[in-house]
Chains A and B, each alone.
Chain A
């Protein structure tokens, strides 16, 4: 595989494939909320696997606080997998909640939501990916879309809220 990075694919292929996936889900489930749920589930399954790849390639260690986590998600994670670096803003005073501001979401290139899909979070897969990946590093985090450019907002905003630290589960029968 000299010359070509085997992990990279054509961006248009990626975007269009994601679009076709969402369209197929809409056809299958015929309900925006249900599609959101399915997308999140798929993303979750991607996230719990992706984190290993991420840790192996990025060489980062433990984060000291949630702010550091936010930085790494944006500057390393999004950069590595989507080629963008969302801005981090809207920290809650307690420091347990922040927003990722995505200006040009590659998932939504060429996309226009047809009327009647105001409940659909087109890129909901991202929420699942973030949740799944963070869960694998002992963080229970709530992830949701607050704003979406597809729905006419100025920017796409994903809100992450730290809920609790997960304890390492010890397999049954071991002390």
Chain B
């Protein structure tokens, strides 16, 4: 149900064994690594669930899915990362055939796939969990470790709002300059 993919770096498997029969990377360390990522993801899931309960305590019911997504982009993101998502796009028509129909280079993206409904792409140009990492390929390997938790958090938050989804993340370059908006794109 869940995968984090890092392009330009070895693929890292997700939670479900059946759905991710990916070869183990990094020799013997791979399974330990996968295990870590699965655990981090489930920690995130739990935190996302509780956080969203706190945040929506006094708000009224969301109108529809898009409304929920807007909440995630604005309020949730603001509370957790102190900024809003920079761009939200959706692709309701082709849920499974093309995950990245948007024709420019993504430095970092998280793709959120709502089962049977469509894909939402959320873009954060300055994702706080990655801005402290150095630029370059050197730390590309460890990026999944930093992304598993936030991915789980989104999944947990949405799950408590009644939306089951798949969250994937992709990084092709680390943020070069923290102040430029083009460096990181965060999508889901």
Chain A positions within 8 Å of B, measured between CB atoms, are: 1, 4, 6, 10, 12-13, 16-17, 19-21, 23-24, 110
Contact = CB atoms under 8 A, between A and B. Distances in A.
Main secondary structure of the interface of A (DSSP, over half): helix
B82 A20 contact: no
B135 interface: no
B46 A20 contact: yes
Contact of B39 (A4, A12, A24): A24
B131 A4 contact: no
B43 A24 contact: yes
B43 A20 contact: yes
A13 B43 contact: no
Given A1-B178, A12-B54, 18 more contacts: A4-B82, A4-B83, A6-B128, A6-B131, A10-B80, A10-B82, A12-B51, A12-B79, A13-B47, A13-B79, A16-B50, A17-B43, A20-B46, A21-B43, A24-B39, A24-B42, A24-B43, A110-B50
5 nearest CB pairs, A to B: A20-B43, A20-B46, A16-B47, A4-B82, A16-B50
A20 B39 CA distance: 10
> Size range of the interface on B?
10 to 19
Contacts of A24: 39, 42-43
Contacts of A20: 43-44, 46-47
Interface of B: 39, 42-44, 46-47, 50-51, 54, 79-80, 82-83, 128, 131-132, 178-179
A23 B46 contact: yes
A27 to B, nearest CB: 9
B160 to A, nearest CB: 13
A141 B171 CA distance: 43
Contacts of B179: 1
